[in-house]
Amino acid sequence: MTDETSLNLFQQQETNRRRTFWLLCGFVLFMGWLGFGGDYIYALSTAHAPAPEQHHVWWFGIVMLALGAMLAGYAYRTGPDKVLWATGAAEVLDPVDDKQRQLVNVVEEMAIAAGVPRPRIWIVPDSDPNAFATGTDPTHAHVAVTQGLLDLCTRDELQAVIGHELGHIKNLDVRLMTTLAALVGAVLLMRDGASRLFLFGGSGSSGGSSRKKSDLGPLVLVLVVVWVLSWILAPIITQLLALAVSRTREYQADAMSAQFTRNPLALASALQKIEAADAPTTHIKGGTAHMCIADPLGRHLTTREGLVADVLATHPPMAKRVAILRGMGYAQLKQAGGAAS
């Protein structure tokens, strides 16, 4: 690896560390807003009530801030386990057939080529060909492939796909993308819980509470709308973050696979096969889709380019990725032919 490539790698790793840190901080602050925002609204709404009914101790904000910090730490520590559990992946500890033995050999070879410890290996019992990597750093990393990928790819193609996933591991992409996946799940759970709380609170309202609501000023009503929208939009915002960070990283991981294997045409062939496969995905859902080498949900937006696709699509267009890899492969062949002559 050249000095320039090493520098770019270190810069990418540091960028991913920084983004993961700020993502966790942003999550904690958002939880604080949900808590203290609710306290502030409640305090305004009870400002003219008798002293015993006024809201003085902002316990909801304190609880939510502490809960946010605990959830952020829990999501970071257990994110890889949750992702693997969500996909139903089974770890390959003792290969039972030729395909599993080949997978283990390929992962060991590519780990050496990438200069990282061998990650733990998992198989997702899904006929749709795909692969993903998860973990917090190269020493605590996992690579998972679907059974469909093992059945579909040649050894060279499998090697190229594993090289792509090890590129994510080496770049520390997995830290950021796994943390995002865990936080998306946590926010969805909180949103569901909040929805039940609001419905329960609404069904139990009394005449007295209706009177208090009618006395609320316009500022309080605006704050209530913003606060409720925050609960509703939180999962959407976290999912948009997951989409935004994954698209450019696929190009980088493709290039690293080509560097590790010195065979970009193999990855181009594998991506074409994955794209052409029409088996339905049953184990990989939206919360982890951004981590896969190809969009497992087959959404139309991933085939497009432009501002909307850059913001909302989990993956760049497969045709463009294949074209770039083919260009790299043909340039490599031309250079080899010139050297031979």
Residue 165 is among the residues annotated as catalytic for this protein = yes
* Neighbouring residues of 56: CB distance < 8 A, sequence distance ≥ 6: 43
Predicted local confidence at residue 265, as pLDDT: 96
Tell me how many helices (H) and strands (E) the chain has: 11, 4
* Neighbouring residues of 63: CB distance < 8 A, sequence distance ≥ 6: 35
Catalytic one among 157, 165, 250, 275?
165
- Tokens found for residue 193: 């819980």
- Sorted by where each begins, the domain ranges of the chain are 3-340
Predicted local confidence at residue 239, as pLDDT: 63
Predicted local confidence at residue 139, as pLDDT: 93
Dist. CA 132–CA 110, nearest whole Å:
15
The length of the chain, given as a count of residues: 341
Dist. CA 283–CA 83, nearest whole Å:
11
Predicted local confidence at residue 53, as pLDDT: 67
Residue ranges in the chain modelled with pLDDT below 50: 1-7, 201-214, 301
Predicted local confidence at residue 199, as pLDDT: 53
Predicted local confidence at residue 339, as pLDDT: 64
* Neighbouring residues of 38: CB distance < 8 A, sequence distance ≥ 6: 60, 61, 64, 227
Strands (E), 112-180: 120-124, 131-135, 141-146
The pLDDT tens digits for 250-297 are 888 999 999 999 999 999 999 999 998 877 788 887 677 778 898 887
Any idea what DSSP says for residue 140? G
- Across the beta sheet with 120-124, the strand order is 90-91, 120-124, 141-146, 131-135
Predicted local confidence at residue 156, as pLDDT: 97
Q: pTM for the full model?
A: 0.74
